[in-house]
Chains A and B, each alone.
Chain A
Amino acid sequence: MITGTPKPIEEILEMIEPYEKIIVAGCFGCVTVCRVGGEKEVQVLASTLRLAREAGGRPLEIREVCLERQCDPEYLDPMRPYVEDYQAVLSIACGAGIQFMAEKFARTPLLPGINTGFLGVTERQGEWAERCQGCGDCVLHLTGGICPVTRCAKSLFHGPCGGSVGGICEVSRDVPCGWQLIIDRLKALDQLENYGKLKPYKGWSSARDGGPRRIIREDMI
């Protein structure tokens, strides 16, 4: 899923300072699963903002909504009839959802209520970790199902570097060495021979480096 973290409330209050009437919009997709932008978070955020503004003597009218997904046009359409009755939309979906809404509602300012994080997994209750950078050229079959681009702090294709000690990356004691994980897994799979091969330079054009990306499925159009 796409993960994220809430923006500090002070930052949000500063963003909405010019407005008296806004929509707070959540999303039932990824951000609901990682508990940063779902229906419940919409309610909590809206209440917090109302209280803060009332305390400052400038009440704020908020309409609370939570869309099935902010990244699909069909779920944005229901907002169209009323969106222009409000001065701004504070979205707590991911960056893709926020931008898509901005594209669809050209005359309404869109404000981000969260900082979008990464493509990750729930390692345990309340803890998410990155797994994929969406580089567009997957090599997981060669690396024991563990991504060197994402899991190695230097994205090395022939790791581990000299900073791997006791399975820990030199960058932080909280970061496992991705290449130690790869080697352990290759060993478990009896595929260590994959390690001994020189890998071609990675083509980054399929990643963000090639410019904004687009997927076109002719069979679906």
Chain B
Amino acid sequence: MKSGSNLERVLAAGQFAVTAECGPPRGADPEKVLKKAEFVKGNVDACNVTDNQTSVVRMSSLAGCLLVRQSGTEPLLQMVVRDRNRIALQSDLLGASALGVRNLLCLSGDHQKFGDDPQAKNVFDIDSIQLIHLVKTMRDDGVFPSGEKLDGAPKFFIGCAVNPFADPFEIRVPRFKLKADAGADFVQTQCIYNMDTFTRYMEEAKKMGLHERVKILAGVTPLKSVGMAKFMNKMVAGIDIPEPVIKRLADEPKEKQAAKGIEMCIEQIQQLKEMEGIAGVHVMAIEWEEKLNEIIGGAGLLPRPVVDEGETER
């Protein structure tokens, strides 16, 4: 085992994995995290804690991870390269590992323009692919990227994100391969709505054998309303919600759209589960964590397996 994390064990045992995410609050109240974490508990193998997503200042991901763990769920630390140079990144990685965080997601981070501090300096000392390489070097070689020996290597199950729906499509799988080459153990995809594009993406990825090198967790986000669908489609770069998906929601009366969104999400998870090369699902129920149990249970993925280290394939 590279990290010994629960997520790594579940995937290594060949079980279909489930992750979700918690966005930390815009304040210092730990109860906000603990409340969200209660909805996650028992429904996932690990829970992502986002790192100042959309460049809006929130409680730090590491602090959020510790609170999630305190509530009984294994955390997954998201780390963006937007705000920290390589010195700070390495330092935070050591700290996170020392505190027992074992799952990591390496991201570039949304540009600071989108947040409430657009005047902030952006760092981007290294990019997300180089961060993967940096963590792997520290974990597997026991040295800092500078070559200096580590006094205790950090242990992480190293993740990355991919967006099959951004442009240019032809470079999306090659870019995923770069992440695999850099050392990613698992990937969580951007929310999938366009199953045709995703199927094409997976065909390309499988041709390169990427599904055998990296555990692929397909990302889904339940839609609460037709308004949310239209907003995301129009306003969020790299989100592709096809017209028939929007129409299915629009055909429902307003008060039934949320239930329909959940039904569609469950259907989609079941389809993804049957796709070759998909090792799990990442359910991003944005500010809708209370529905995780219904979605994941509805997809037949509960209870979550308990895998001891001895049961995993080495």
Establish whether residues A161 and B166, one from each chain, have CB atoms under 8 Å apart when the complex forms: yes
Q: Does B225 contact A (CB under 8 A)?
A: no
User: Are A156 and B238 CB-contacts (below 8 A) given A163-B111, A195-B171, A196-B174?
Assistant: no
Interface SS majority for chain A? loop
Residue of B nearest to A204 (CB): B125
Is there an interface contact between A198 and B129, defined as CB atoms closer than 8 Å?
yes
Residue count of chain B within 8 Å CB distance of chain A: 36
Q: Are A163 and B133 in contact (CB under 8 A)?
A: no
B residues in contact with A153, CB < 8 Å = 111, 113, 122
Query: Which of A14-22, A33-41, A72-80, A165-173 is found at the contact surface with chain B?
Result: A165-173
Q: Which of A83-104 contact B (CB under 8 A)?
A: none
CB of B182 within 8 Å of the partner chain: yes
Chain A residues within an 8 Å CB radius of B122: 153-154
Which parts of A131-176 form the interface with B (CB within 8 Å)? 153-167, 170-172
Q: Are B178 and A196 in contact (CB under 8 A)?
A: yes
**Which residue of B is nearest A157, CB measured?**
B127
Which residues of B lie under 8 Å from residue A183 when comparing CB positions?
168, 170-171
Chain A residues whose C-beta falls within 8 Å of the C-beta of B170 in the assembled complex: 183
Chain B residues positioned under 8 Å from A157 (CB to CB): 126-127, 129-130
- List, sorted by A's number, 20 A–B pairs whose CB atoms are closer than 8 Å: A153-B113, A154-B111, A154-B127, A155-B124, A156-B124, A156-B127, A157-B126, A158-B127, A158-B175, A161-B163, A161-B166, A162-B238, A163-B110, A165-B167, A166-B167, A170-B237, A177-B167, A180-B168, A201-B125, A201-B145
A-B contact sample (6 more), CB < 8 A, given A162-B163, A163-B237, A163-B238: A154-B122, A156-B128, A162-B161, A164-B237, A177-B167, A198-B182
A interface residues with partner B (beta carbon < 8 Å): 153-167, 170-172, 177, 179-180, 183, 195-196, 198-199, 201-202, 204
Residues of chain B having any CB pair with chain A under 8 Å: 82, 86, 108-111, 113-114, 122, 124-130, 133-134, 145, 161-163, 166-168, 170-171, 174-175, 177-178, 181-182, 190, 237-238
**8 A-B pairs with the lowest CB-CB distances in the bound complex, closest first:** A162-B163, A170-B237, A163-B237, A162-B238, A158-B129, A156-B127, A162-B166, A155-B124
